[in-house]
Structure 1
């Protein structure tokens, strides 16, 4: 069998990890299954090429983020020339994320990233290192500013924004699962994305609860 180069082996491990993480879950995935699927005989291949399980997961998500950035950055920059409304911003995010639905690789990555949505850093206002300086984080900051302008107190708007990202991620992951399983979804993709945009926007702009005394 011909030997493969370091970059080729890394790519094989990343592709295998996408399949195994999507099928078994981020926490349940077995590294030995990833190594075997990648066709590697060395059981320490992940440690050698990525340092750790977390390093491999970061590599998987870096590829997924790069593809989303390519889809998001140009329309976001164009929208920022004006004063984009909240619904437009959410629509840009949903549309960019949904480009991952076009391939099996992207669909698997959607299933993986949905498990990591709370690691974005939204609740603390400090982006995860992979998101710092990205169009994705810039959009999140614009959404947060729009919610502040709508009068939502900081704890409420940060929690809502974090939950909104979770909603979008879960909805797209569920759609991806249907595609991967060959199951027919209830709605066409255009209607699904429009409804997801509208539902998320409505959730974010719902009236804040009245202050209340609790025993």
Structure 2
């Protein structure tokens, strides 16, 4: 049987992990299933190449982030400091992952990790520091600050909005993977997601609690 190199084995494990994490869930997936799908006989292959389950998951998300960053960075550079335009850049970049089965699986995975971005604390997860994605978050928060929204409320609202976008994209990805006919065409779905997310962020602050 032909031997595979370290990089080839890593790639096989990452691609297998994308399938298993998407199908079984980040917390429910079994590493032995990933190793088997990757065609590896050594049950310790994940530990050898990635150090841990978390290391493998980080590698999956790093690939997903690299792809969306390539789309997002030029959109962000061209976007004015207007909330609708910034949300539009976010949705367009995320939607680029709908083009392939690999991207669709990664959308289903990342939706499960939405609260780990660091938005609620205002401190990015290490993988998001110095990225276009985090610069986008900062610019959206600045728009909310200009609206007079207190920082705790705008961080919580921003985290909720990102979670909603992630969940919507993951559900659309699931429909594509399953062959289910969506209720709306993609263009309408994306335009409505931008409008709905902007409206959520722009909702009037409660007068009292």
TM-score normalized by the length of structure 1? 0.96
Aligned to 2:127: 130
- Equivalents in 2 of 1:78, 1:92: separation in Å? 9
Aligned-partner SS, 2:90: helix
1:32-87, Cα deviation, whole Å (9 max, x unpaired): 000000000000000000000000000000000000000000121122xxx43100
**What TM-score results when the alignment is normalised by the length of structure 2?**
0.99
2:184 aligned residue: 187
Residues 25-104 of structure 1 mapped to structure 2, 5 A cutoff: 25-79=25-79, 83-104=80-101
Aligned residue pairs total: 209
Moved over 2 A (4+): none
Counterpart position of 1:161: 158
Q: Describe the SS at the equivalent of 1:112.
A: helix
Partner SS state of residue 19, structure 1: helix
RMSD: 0.6
Structure 1 equivalent of residue 104 of structure 2: 107
CA contact (8 A) 2:32 2:43 kept: yes
Could you tell me which residue of structure 1 aligns to residue 149 of structure 2?
152
Distance in 2 separating the partners of 1:78 and 1:162: 24
How does 1:16-27 map onto structure 2 within 5 Å? 16-27=16-27
Q: Which runs of 5+ in 1 are unaligned?
A: none
What is the CA distance between 1:130 and its match in structure 2?
Answer: 0.4
CA distance in 1, matches of 2:134, 2:97: 18
Q: Give the C-alpha shift of residue 26 in structure 1.
A: 0.1
Q: What secondary structure, in the 3-state scheme, does the structure 2 residue paired with 1:173 have?
A: helix
Once residues 164 and 101 of structure 1 are traced to their aligned partners in structure 2, the CA distance between those partners, rounded to angstroms, is 19
Shift of 1:148: 0.5
